[in-house]
Amino acid sequence: MSPERYQRIRDVLAKRQTDLTVCLENVHKPHNVSAIVRTCDAIGIHRVHTVWEEKYKLRGGTAMGSQQWVRVDNHDNISDAIGNLKSQGMQVLVTHLSDSAVDFRDVDYTKPTAVLFGQEKYGVTDEAIAMADQDIVIPMVGMVQSLNVSVAAALVLYEAQRQRQIAGCYDTQHLPEDECQRMLFEGGFPRLQKLCVRKGLPYPPIDEHGQIAASDDWWQQMQLSAAAVAALQADEAAG
């Protein structure tokens, strides 16, 4: 991995927000899911949560590779998902028009926050609404009273980013170093990472220059010759 790529990844990881996330309940169109994940990456969200009646794959073209940098946790049902989020001390907001709903800009997103978005046609379920802490709405004055779910997510998340930047939330690294090391290896050495998984070996540490700092024993278990190692590292650095 080149020093430039190492520093780029480090800078991104340093701004990851571990206490801001989204939960997608049966958002079933792959291009919407992928677009939301792409926005999450841009905002600095580290992990998103999903609940699907069927499992869908992210559409790589729309996500623009961001699915590599945003972790996705799948839950069997919305009760488990919201319970998991609340156990982390997060306020759970749901996009839902109701008498108690507030303008999405009037919420304090500097608190640990999860924003719940529902299925494209029917929205969130009654169970999700009942479990959420606050309904939020995006004010509209047109004939249509709903936005595409990926557009709605972008609006809400950029308001969260705005508030967090003002509060200095991006100035301190929140992501644990072991997770940073894992993502540095996966993002900086994708070919070696696949080989590592195939052989069932632990990921090696990455040093401050972006190079693998593994023991001789680890390299021996990888069963790569010195020439093969040099070629792979040069290939990764060039990529």
- Residue 221 CA to residue 229 CA, distance in Å, equals 13
Residue 8 lies in a domain: no
Q: How confident is the model at residue 172 (pLDDT cuts 50, 70, 90)?
A: very high
Same domain, 21 and 136: yes
What pLDDT does residue 226 have?
Answer: 55
Digit-coded pLDDT (tens) for 26-79: 888 888 888 999 999 999 999 999 998 665 555 444 443 445 789 989 998 999
**Average pLDDT in the chain:** 86
pTM: 0.83
45 known member of a binding site: no
138 known member of a binding site: yes
Same domain, 183 and 161: no
- Its domain, for residue 224, covers 177-238
| E strand or H helix that includes residue 49 | strand 47-51
147 known member of a binding site: yes
110 C-beta neighbours (distance < 10 Å), count: 15
Residue 53 DSSP class: S
Residue 65 lies in a domain: yes
What pLDDT does residue 63 have?
Answer: 42
- Residue 97 CA to residue 117 CA, distance in Å, equals 12
Q: Which two tokens stand for residue 61?
A: 């073209």
Same domain, 162 and 234: no
What pLDDT does residue 64 have?
Answer: 39
Same domain, 219 and 134: no
Residue 7 lies in a domain: no
What pLDDT does residue 26 have?
Answer: 87
Determine the average pLDDT of the residues in 182-193. Answer: 89
Digit-coded pLDDT (tens) for 127-141: 999 999 999 999 888
Higher-pLDDT residue of 98 and 144 is 98
Residue 3 lies in a domain: no
Residue 2 lies in a domain: no
| Closest residue by Cα to residue 70 from 50, 49, 46 | 46
- Residue 100 CA to residue 96 CA, distance in Å, equals 10
Q: Is the backbone of residue 107 left (phi > 0), alpha (psi -120 to 50) or beta? A: beta
- Residue 191 CA to residue 178 CA, distance in Å, equals 20
What pLDDT does residue 97 have?
Answer: 81
Residue 189 DSSP class: -
Residue 60 lies in a domain: yes
